[in-house]
Amino acid sequence: MSKKILIIDDEEDFLKAITIRLNHTGYDTYVALDGEEAYKIMEKEPPDLIILDVEMPKMDGLQFIKRLKDDERYKNIPVIVLTAGAFDIAGEVDTLAIAQDFLLKSVDNERIIERVAKLI
């Protein structure tokens, strides 16, 4: 059975690229454009891992990860925070420490695949 990865990002080009790469590697993927949409998806089918952007509309990645880790149903799902870095990282260290990994979007897809494989 393939592992399921939920990718949460509002940049559709990024979603397409990373989805193709993860699917090619053998993972099942599904996507959400913001944290609210992601929560609705997770209620139907919890993922084995989440790749999460920080800057998004409605519910951003920081709000999402706080809610996720307070929810008994989902708190043990590993999270990779993947962002362009356009926010105050120093001000969000406690929140980001909840994630199992943190990468900048400029990283190549191979590194993302390596990190995914280590976590699931």
Instruction: Give 97-115 pLDDT, tens digit per residue.
Output: 556 555 556 566 778 888 8
Query: What is the rounded CA–CA span in Å between residue 82 and residue 105?
Result: 6
Query: What is the rounded CA–CA span in Å between residue 36 and residue 58?
Result: 7
* CA-CA-CA-CA torsion sign (74, 80, 86, 89): positive
Domain boundaries in the chain?
A: 1-31+41-50
pTM of the full structure? 0.81
CB distance 49 to 7 below 8 Å: no
Instruction: Give 3-48 pLDDT, tens digit per residue.
Output: 999 999 988 888 898 899 999 999 999 999 998 999 999 999 999 9
